Amino acid sequence: MVICVTFNILLLAAGVVLNGTLLLILVREKSMRTMPNAYIANLAIADLVLITTFLPLFTSDVYTQMWLFGNTLCKIVNFLNVSLFAVSVFTFTALSAERYYTTRHFLQRARPGAGASASDGQVTFVVIAVIWTAACALALPFGLNAREIDDSCVRVKYSEDGDSFTFCVILIELVALFAVPAALITVFHVLTSREISRSVANIPGERAGHRARIRQREKSALLLLALVLTFLVFNLPYYVHKVWILVYFRNYDDYTPADTEPWFFFAEIAMCVKHVHACVSPVVLYFMSDSFRKHFNRYLFCCCCGCCSCCTNKKATEAVSVRHISGTSGTNTQSTLTCLD
């Protein structure tokens, strides 16, 4: 218990700093305001709200071994937990679909003057609005059903007779927030990889700028894959526990307390590990994106250490913010300060 509480406190501090810095970069740096990065900002907002609202109450519950905040807050917290997690899952799925769409149509976008259009931005913000609406709609039954029972805040009341409602709620969460999104993300990534390979194979004599743009797509696909894999890995133990609940409460008489006690301990650990995903995205972006790493270094390390010249001197940063790619029709300028261009 002490380890879990300490871990959550450190996670809270790290999540606020990392996601806060990420949002600051995306807001202040014009070169980072791209359509794909709008999804990254959406992900950071969901993670930041989850960490600052749910995690402190969850940590208090673990430490005191009882719920101290009443029935109403129990419902609100469970609604926020499910809805914000759903926003993260749906955002990753939408980002995977966007990567596939962008990669498939990059030949048209690579033409002079064929950059991202206003309609692309409108579609992105509509998708984000749909994500939040769907997430809230999915989380509403969880929040309404949550209640304070025997000094505990429970999302669903597990019963020894294999309550069908409990079974359905857990099954919906498992399918809607893990199995289906994971399958869609896998499909989109396979399709994206196929489009990149096809582009390279079909255009053996492409311009230097065209080849560079293909390399940029490959790097973006790898970055997205790293983000998704870390997200799935940290959430896998939690859903392994959910699968066990589905089996256990349908075969209650086959188990003894000695059999179930390790699983309840595993559930507490799985919940702690699950929340790590709220801090993972900024770390992955730092290590896999040159542009994000430069900005993180400037905002986190330079500014926190009081190095004003590092914070205010944007000239050096702007000098590497664009690269010129020679083409047959002249010189194209491509921003390199986007993580998912």
- 119-176, pLDDT tens digit by residue? 567 888 999 999 999 999 999 988 888 888 888 888 765 554 445 666 777 788 888 9
Domain count, the chain: 1
Residue 341 domain-assigned (yes or no): no
Number of other CB atoms surrounding residue 66 within 10 Å: 12
Q: What is the pLDDT of residue 20?
A: 93
Predicted confidence (pLDDT) per residue in 249-258, tens digit: 655 444 444 5
Average pLDDT, the chain: 76
Predicted confidence (pLDDT) per residue in 20-51, tens digit: 999 999 999 988 888 889 999 999 999 999 99
Residue 299 domain-assigned (yes or no): yes
Q: Which two tokens stand for residue 183?
A: 């399958």
Highest mean pLDDT among 53-62, 111-120, 320-329: 53-62
Q: Which two tokens stand for residue 321?
A: 């913010």
Burial class of residue 336, CB neighbours in 10 A (0-12, 13-18, 19+): middle
Residue 289 domain-assigned (yes or no): yes
Residue 112 domain-assigned (yes or no): yes
Residue 203 domain-assigned (yes or no): yes
- CATH classification of the domain holding 304: 1.20.1070.10
Model confidence at 340, pLDDT cuts 50, 70, 90, reads: low
Residue 340 domain-assigned (yes or no): no
Residue 265 domain-assigned (yes or no): yes
Element (H, E) at 87: helix 70-104
CA 264 to chain centre: 27
Residue 97 domain-assigned (yes or no): yes
Portion of the chain with pLDDT greater than 70, in percent: 69
Domain that holds residue 124: 2-335
Dihedral pair phi/psi, residue 148, rounded to 5°: -90, 120
Number of other CB atoms surrounding residue 96 within 10 Å: 25
| pTM for the predicted model, two decimal places | 0.78
